[in-house]
């Protein structure tokens, strides 16, 4: 019990890297990013963008899908539930592979698969086939966040990671935004036999394009430096350092050292996934039914909301580098909750536009901190696995969000502006988002933070010591330094020996 008590106490300590630079000036934090760093980041961002584009293609097509398969809204949202449920399986598979063998090939294969499944969604003839395809798609979607966020942020200098965490996360909002724009300006002009399928045809092509781009961008310097260390161990005959038994032993050690943080991050991601899905999944449906808007206006309001999301996420990411991750999450959760009445009560377009803009500004502002928060909370050698799996386990718990809202709305009816008795999706969503926002405020302020942690100074998954507990002073790299007579220079992973050097040169 004493050990458990001490572990809990240690969990809630807040650490701040004294070597970290904390600036809100984007020009200052960007000046050390190399061309390769930009390419790593942008190619990973594009994969994350496509994750959202296809998911929300279903959300935007609820009405035509209901008509085509002759099912009600709740039945169609079952596909969204299955997609979210199976994302954890994808996160587990991709995390284990990418931490040990590299991020690039995992993302390339994943984008090829989800492109094929996006195309299969358009060709699904029966409702059962549609559900099966969307279930498989969930596995592919879950495989993206862990390796994509890891390679994106580890390729940047540490002082830029707050700002670019926000921009990276809003790749999701941009994916939703682009899908909404395509649905508004492209789909209505398609022949009747294509219709909503145009969203998925385009999604397939863009997913394959993202995979091809990722194929031509090499692994990050961080991962290549770690692989060079591993190669040195093998060449020296130290096979025990990288054996299969060592790999399994280090995973078990990592679980024992990080179980409290894993539970905390799982709870955080459960709340955050409810936060986003409750405020987004049925957004178009809310505007079309409760607010009596045309499909065109409903999509336009969705676009405005996603513009707010992109702005909020970018600002919040930058603010978190100065104010801290926890405080920023709590602040933007309050902003989202404060504008719920303006989102739920008005009927006119302009008021609704302001409401949805600022609700999504707050929701996705809080979300903008999540990629770097999870990277700094993760065991350094298992960042793809830890961040991806905790994220997607939270998604799994929140997978029924759309169905919960749809079912709750069916028990509460209102008379809309046309005099029709309809389900009250709007009020239900507002209450749901408000409760989750309050829980995020409490959870964020009560949690742990490793602001500015050096996420790049780690062994690869499977090396001896990779599962050890890491902090700002002592960790897996300390033993490696002593064993190999290697000396750390500066604040980045630059190590040198008399025989040669292994360098991760993000900042000169």
> What is the distance between the alpha carbons of residues 246 and 329, in angstroms, rounded to a whole number?
38
> What is the distance between the alpha carbons of residues 343 and 435, in angstroms, rounded to a whole number?
15
CB 8 within 8 A of CB 133: no
Neighbours of 182 (CB within 10 A): 18
pLDDT reported for residue 230:
67
How would you list the strands of the sheet with 501-503, edge to edge?
487-488, 494-496, 501-503
Which distant-in-sequence residues (6+ apart) come within 8 Å of 173 by Cβ? Answer: 52, 306, 309, 310, 313, 360, 364
Q: Where are the alpha helices (DSSP H) in 143-220?
A: 145-154, 161-169, 171-185, 197-215
Helix crossing, 127-142 with 62-69: angle to 10°? 140
Domain 35-451: CATH superfamily, name plus number: MFS general substrate transporter like domains (1.20.1250.20)
Which residue do the tokens 């749901």 mark?
A: 432
Where are the domains positioned within the chain? 35-451
pLDDT reported for residue 2:
66
Q: What is the DSSP string of 333-369?
A: HHHHHHTHHHHHS--SHHHHHHHHHHHHHHHHHHHHT
Encoding tokens for residue 264? 């905390």
Which distant-in-sequence residues (6+ apart) come within 8 Å of 259 by Cβ? Answer: none
Running along the chain, 508 residues long, what does each successive block of 10 average in pLDDT? 61 53 63 84 93 86 86 81 87 86 88 94 90 92 90 83 89 87 85 86 94 87 68 64 68 84 91 86 75 80 88 91 88 94 85 91 93 87 87 84 71 67 76 92 84 68 66 35 36 33 35
pLDDT reported for residue 418:
66
> What is the distance between the alpha carbons of residues 490 and 20, in angstroms, rounded to a whole number?
11
pLDDT tens string 92-104 = 998 888 887 778 8
pLDDT reported for residue 163:
87
SS3 410: helix
Kindly report each contact of residues 77-80 with a partner whose C-beta sits within 8 Å and lies 24 or more positions away, as own/partner: 77/281, 77/282, 77/402, 77/403, 77/406, 78/131, 78/403, 79/130, 79/131, 79/134, 79/135, 80/55, 80/134, 80/281, 80/399, 80/402, 80/403
pLDDT tens string 230-266 = 677 666 665 455 556 777 777 888 888 888 888 999 9
pLDDT reported for residue 369:
92
pLDDT reported for residue 499:
34
347 phi, psi to nearest 5 deg: -115, -20
Which distant-in-sequence residues (6+ apart) come within 8 Å of 210 by Cβ? Answer: 43, 46, 47, 49, 50, 111
pLDDT reported for residue 459:
66
What is the H or E stretch that residue 13 is in? none
DSSP code, position 454: -
Encoding tokens for residue 354? 């302001």
> What is the distance between the alpha carbons of residues 390 and 374, in angstroms, rounded to a whole number?
9
> What is the distance between the alpha carbons of residues 506 and 508, in angstroms, rounded to a whole number?
7
SS3 466: coil
Which distant-in-sequence residues (6+ apart) come within 8 Å of 131 by Cβ? Answer: 78, 79, 82
pLDDT reported for residue 203:
92
CB 319 within 8 A of CB 416: no
pLDDT reported for residue 500:
35
pLDDT reported for residue 89:
92
pLDDT reported for residue 383:
85
CB 374 within 8 A of CB 262: no
186 phi, psi to nearest 5 deg: -115, -45
Q: Is 213 exposed, middle or buried (0-12, 13-18, 19+ CB in 10 A)?
A: middle
Entry pTM: 0.77
pLDDT reported for residue 272:
93
């Amino acid at each position: 019990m004493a050990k458990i008590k001490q572990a809990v106490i240690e969990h809630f300590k807040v650490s701040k890297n004294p070597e970290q630079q904390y600036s809100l000036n984007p020009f200052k934090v960007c000046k050390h990013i190399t061309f390769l760093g930009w390419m790593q980041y942008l190619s990973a961002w594009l994969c994350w963008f496509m994750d959202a584009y296809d998911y929300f293609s279903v959300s935007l097509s609820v009405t035509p899908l209901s008509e085509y398969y002759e099912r009600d809204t709740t039945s169609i949202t079952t596909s969204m539930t299955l997609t979210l449920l199976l994302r954890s399986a994808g996160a587990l598979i991709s995390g284990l592979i990418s931490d040990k063998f590299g991020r690039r090939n995992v993302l390339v294969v994943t984008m090829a698969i989800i492109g094929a499944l996006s195309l299969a969604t358009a060709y699904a003839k029966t409702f059962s086939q549609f559900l099966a395809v969307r279930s498989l798609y969930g596995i592919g979607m879950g495989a993206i966040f862990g390796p994509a966020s890891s390679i994106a942020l580890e390729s940047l200098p540490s002082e830029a990671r707050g700002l670019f965490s926000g921009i990276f996360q809003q790749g999701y909002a941009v994916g939703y935004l682009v899908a909404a724009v395509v649905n508004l300006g492209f789909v209505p002009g398609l022949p009747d036999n294509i219709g909503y399928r145009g969203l998925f045809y385009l999604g397939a092509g863009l997913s394959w394009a993202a995979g091809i781009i990722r194929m031509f961008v090499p692994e990050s310097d961080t991962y290549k430096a770690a692989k060079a260390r591993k190669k040195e161990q093998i060449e020296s005959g130290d096979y025990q350092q990288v054996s299969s038994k060592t790999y399994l032993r280090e995973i078990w050690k990592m679980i024992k050292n990080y179980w409290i943080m894993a539970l905390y991050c799982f709870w955080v991601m459960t709340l955050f996934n409810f936060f986003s899905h409750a405020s987004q999944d049925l957004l178009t449906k809310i505007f079309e039914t409760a607010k009596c808007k045309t499909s065109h206006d409903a999509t336009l309001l969705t676009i405005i909301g996603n513009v707010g999301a992109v702005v909020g996420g970018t600002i919040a990411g930058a603010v978190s580098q100065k104010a801290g991750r926890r405080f920023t999450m709590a602040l933007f959760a309050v902003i989202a909750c404060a504008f719920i009445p303006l989102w739920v009560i008005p009927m006119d377009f302009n008021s609704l536009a302001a409401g949805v803009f600022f609700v999504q500004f707050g929701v996705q502002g809080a979300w903008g901190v999540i990629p770097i928060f999870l990277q700094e909370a993760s065991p350094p050698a298992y960042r793809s696995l830890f961040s991806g799996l905790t994220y997607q386990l939270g998604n799994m718990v929140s997978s029924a969000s759309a169905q919960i809202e749809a079912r709750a709305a069916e028990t509460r009816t209102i008379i809309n502006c046309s005099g029709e008795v309809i389900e009250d999706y709007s009020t239900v969503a507002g209450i749901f988002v408000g409760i989750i926002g309050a829980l995020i405020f409490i959870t964020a302020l009560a949690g742990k933070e490793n602001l500015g942690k050096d996420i790049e100074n780690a062994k690869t998954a499977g090396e001896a010591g990779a599962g050890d507990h890491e902090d700002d002073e002592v960790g897996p790299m300390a033993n490696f330094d002593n064993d190999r007579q290697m000396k750390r220079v500066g604040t980045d992973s630059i190590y040198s020996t008399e025989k040669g050097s292994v360098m991760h040169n993000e900042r000169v």
